[in-house]
Each structure stands twice: as C-alpha cells, then as structure tokens.
Amino acid sequence: MHRPGFGTVSLVAGLLLAAAAALPAAEFDSQAGKELPELVELYKNFHSHPELSYFEKETSAKVAGLLAGYGYSVSWPVGRYADSTRVCYGVVAVLKNGEGPTVLVRGDMDALPIEEKTGLAWASRVRMTDISGEEVGVMHACGHDVHTTVLLGTARALADLKGRWRGTLIIIGQTAEERGGGARALLADGLYTRWPLPDYAIAEHVDPTLEAGKIGYCPGWAMANVDMVDIAVRGIGSHGAQPQQGKDPIVLSAQIINALQTLVSRSINPVEVGVVTVGSIHGGSKHNIIPDEVKLQLTVRSFTEEVRSTLLDGIKRIAVETARAYGVPEDRLPVVDIGVEFTPSLYNDPSLVQRTVGAIGRELGSANLVQIPPTTGGEDFSEYGRTQHKVPVFMLRLGTAPPGSDTEHCPGLHSALYHPDIEPSLTTGVRAMTAAAIELLGK
C-alpha cells in the first residue's frame, strides 16, 4: 500500500540492509540516487517555511500527518506550557511491534528570529510576530529543519524495518527548544505517564564543526546548564549636565558588568566551567538625559548544580550590593529575574553512548566517528533524562560542513549564513539514528 509522504524509507532501508541482502553495488547506488532528492525536498520545504518557538502549528501538522501515514498512532497537539495562554504543538507518535524495549526518538521543530542571508534558492523569506509582539525575520539557523527531516526519515525507515526489531517506538516532534520550554511542556502533559515510559531516549543535533558524513559523540557531561537572567538596574533620572541630582543607572550598570566578570575568575574552582555573558544592554533615549533604568540580559552557563548556584547567587549579590554602594535608595535597588529561561545540562549516559556508537560505527564505519569535548551550548533534550524515572539519554552530533572544508571557519549555528551540506548530512543522520534505534530495540 502506498503511504503518503516522501520515499525516505527506501533509501534508508537499502542502506541498512545492503550487507544482509547482498544488494549489488550498482543497484544500491541507483536506489539511493532515486530516493535522496525526495528527502532533500522535504528538508527544503521545512527550511523555507520556518516557524518560531510556540508558533510551530503548520510544521507540527505536517509532521503529524506524515507520521500517521507511516503507520504510527499519532497524538497532536500535545504539551502544556506554564503559560497556559499558548498552545503547545508537540507531536507524539507511537509504533508498537511486539514485546521488547521502548525507545524514544526526538527531533525539534522551531526556528530562530534571524533574517537569513545565505542567498540560497530555498532561503527563508518568512517574517513573523514573536511572543513579545515584535516583527522579525525567521530562519532555521540551528538546524532544526535537518532534525525534523532526519526524524521523519528515521521514523519511516523503522516502520518499514519492523522485521528487524521488537518493542515500542516513540517519535517526538518537539516545540520551543530555542526557548527551553518544549521538553518540559511535553513532560508536564504526561509524556511519561500517558504514553509508554521509554527505556532509552536518543536525539541528534547538527554540528558545523564536523564534516558531513561524520558523527560526534561525548559521553558524560556534554552540554551546559543555560540560564537566562534579566536585570533591571534602576536609578534616578536627571539632566545629563546635572548628574549630581540623580543616580546614573548607566554608570552603575557598567560597574555591575565589570564586577560580574569576577564570578568565574574568583568564585568557582578554576577546574570547573562557568560562563557569565552580558549579551544585551539597553538604556537611555538622548545624549543629555540620564535615564531612570537600564536593562541587562545575561546568559549563564555551567555544568554542575553547585557552580550554577554560585553564579546565580553571585549575580544577584553583585547587582544589589553594587547599587547599595553607589547610594541607590532601597526602593530603587536592581530587580534580578533569574527564572526567565532555563535549560538543564545534558548528561549522555556513558553505557548508552558506548552501545549506540558501536552500532553506528558498524553502519557508517568507525573512521566516521569522532569523540568530541563538552560544549557550553545548551539543549533541552536533557529534560527527558532528569525526571524521577531516570531515563538514560544520548544526543549525538551530526556533521554538516562540506567534506574537506575548513570547519573552523564555516558559518556556525545561530548565524544568518548557516547552511548544511544537505545530502550527506541527511543520509548520515537517518542512517545513524536508525542504526541506533534498532540496536536498542529488541531483536
């Protein structure tokens, strides 16, 4: 029976079963050549129609429809945000295939508020109004279009390869990763209680520092805690020519920013990792007006809870006590909001990494596996392993740089110029994720 969607599975099934089926090389190459263009077209469609976090309605509807066509039992929309005024467009799809383990495979779907500058024929020209009411350009600058395409390719491949595995497969189309809320929303809506509890959870993330065709892996701590912190530095406004009549929040902000740099250098153990970056400062309206308030936006990175607490407590202490030392009245002390957005650090279960990397190495060749160091980037996939159920998780890294390129100078993630070498990236991603899932499911 023909199933709607793209012909990804024929390509992937051929790739995975080539050795067992003794498929002639010429026939294998021909089959791969036929199916790959359809997979690429699916990617281009997602890339040219991006949707911001919390607004992934059309993307998720497409994902849900394709998964239903592949034979999955699909629930959509799924998820419950803390802010109940927004709809969560999460997708949960289940394929049961006898007795055996339960494996969760996750892909995220949201894009970033970035105006694309790649010049590609399929570049995004989309503009949207974000949650703050501002109109912005929208782009898949973090590779979630690749993640979604790989997720669908993997889901369809596994549906066609049911003779190779036993158990339950859960496919997750996740929203709002860039805002750090999508995984929590799914879990809050009963992901681990309304649907089968997974024995393992796996995912992939693009990596422009690796060549396409290669897979990166990092056992243990792999990605950092990410805290977004807002500070309202309040003062007393006055004329720029009469600064003694006020309390200048711009000067105070400068002192706070400089003092914050001592948190990493003087408050945590030098062998621990910590980052405190002030990424945004806004205040004032005219040359000769001292404003009442300056707003700072910070990103704070750490791996352990101890370091995280030290940095966050230190930020509040420095902001408030510096203002007191500056003579700011008690009712005008800085307001520090630490709960803006939070993504916990990602711990890749070492035994799960070893097992799945072994399977991927047999599929792709061990020369295409690269052990990589931890990064201070963040990913809310970590949430799936932090519940009371302690589900082992592993996120692998999918190379997207053109083979032979200078990966140190390729456009990075969250760049308006980022774009993957798409054909080898997609085929490698689907092959790796399918091999990993089959390894974890019952034989």
Q: What pLDDT, in 10s, does the model give residues 256-311? A: 999 999 999 999 999 999 999 999 999 999 999 999 999 999 999 999 999 999 99
Q: How confident is the model at residue 132 (pLDDT cuts 50, 70, 90)?
A: confident
Question: DSSP characters for 286-346?
Answer: STTEE-SEEEEEEEEEESSHHHHHHHHHHHHHHHHHHHHHTT--GGGPPEEEEEEEEEPPE
* Residue 107 to residue 128: CA distance in whole angstroms: 22
Q: Is the pLDDT of residue 219 over 80?
A: yes
Q: What angle do CA 136, 140, 144 make, to 5 degrees?
A: 135
* Residue 347 to residue 35: CA distance in whole angstroms: 36
Q: What pLDDT, in 10s, does the model give residues 100-124? A: 999 999 999 999 999 999 999 999 9
Q: How confident is the model at residue 28 (pLDDT cuts 50, 70, 90)?
A: very low
Torsion angle of C-alpha atoms 416, 417, 418, 421, degrees rounded to 10: 150
Question: DSSP characters for 385-440?
Answer: GSSTT---EEEEEEEEEPTTS-GGGS--TT-TT----HHHHHHHHHHHHHHHHHHH
Per-residue pLDDT, averaged over 149-164, amounts to 94
Q: Are 290 and 246 in contact (CB under 8 A)?
A: yes
Q: How confident is the model at residue 83 (pLDDT cuts 50, 70, 90)?
A: confident
Q: Is the pLDDT of residue 422 over 60?
A: yes
What percent of the chain lies above the pLDDT cut of 90? 86
pLDDT at 23: 35
Q: Is the pLDDT of residue 16 over 50?
A: no
Residue of 208, 292, 205 whose CA lies nearest to 247:
292
pLDDT at 15: 47
Contacts for 439 with CB less than 8 Å, ≥ 6 apart:
355, 356, 358, 359
pLDDT at 34: 52
pLDDT at 37: 83
Q: How confident is the model at residue 394 (pLDDT cuts 50, 70, 90)?
A: very high
Q: How confident is the model at residue 35 (pLDDT cuts 50, 70, 90)?
A: low
Residue 39 in tokens: 């997979």
Q: What pLDDT, in 10s, does the model give residues 375-389? A: 999 999 999 999 999
pLDDT at 25: 37
Q: Are 245 and 401 in contact (CB under 8 A)?
A: no
Q: Is the pLDDT of residue 168 over 60?
A: yes
* Residue 5 to residue 409: CA distance in whole angstroms: 36
pLDDT at 30: 39
Q: Are 204 and 397 in contact (CB under 8 A)?
A: yes
Q: How confident is the model at residue 146 (pLDDT cuts 50, 70, 90)?
A: very high
Instruction: Give me the domains of the chain, ranges plus CATH numbers.
Output: 8-224+345-440 (3.40.630.10), 225-343 (3.30.70.360)
Q: Are 66 and 408 in contact (CB under 8 A)?
A: no
Q: Is 104 left (phi over 0), alpha (psi -120 to 50) or beta?
A: beta
pLDDT at 24: 39
Q: What pLDDT, in 10s, does the model give residues 341-373? A: 899 999 999 999 999 999 999 999 999 999 999
By the 10 Å C-beta count (0-12 exposed, 13-18 middle, 19+ buried), 246 is classed as middle
Per-residue pLDDT, averaged over 194-210, amounts to 98
Residue 263 in tokens: 């948190």
Q: Is the pLDDT of residue 340 over 80?
A: no
* Residue 263 to residue 269: CA distance in whole angstroms: 10
Lowest mean pLDDT among 9-23, 25-39, 141-155, 249-263: 9-23
Per-residue pLDDT, averaged over 324-353, amounts to 95
* Residue 409 to residue 97: CA distance in whole angstroms: 45
What percent of the chain lies above the pLDDT cut of 70? 92
Q: What pLDDT, in 10s, does the model give residues 37-73? A: 888 999 999 999 999 999 999 999 999 999 999 999 9
State the average pLDDT for the chain: 92
Contacts for 275 with CB less than 8 Å, ≥ 6 apart:
224, 264, 299, 300, 301, 302, 376
**Helices of type H across 166-261:** 182-188, 191-194, 249-260
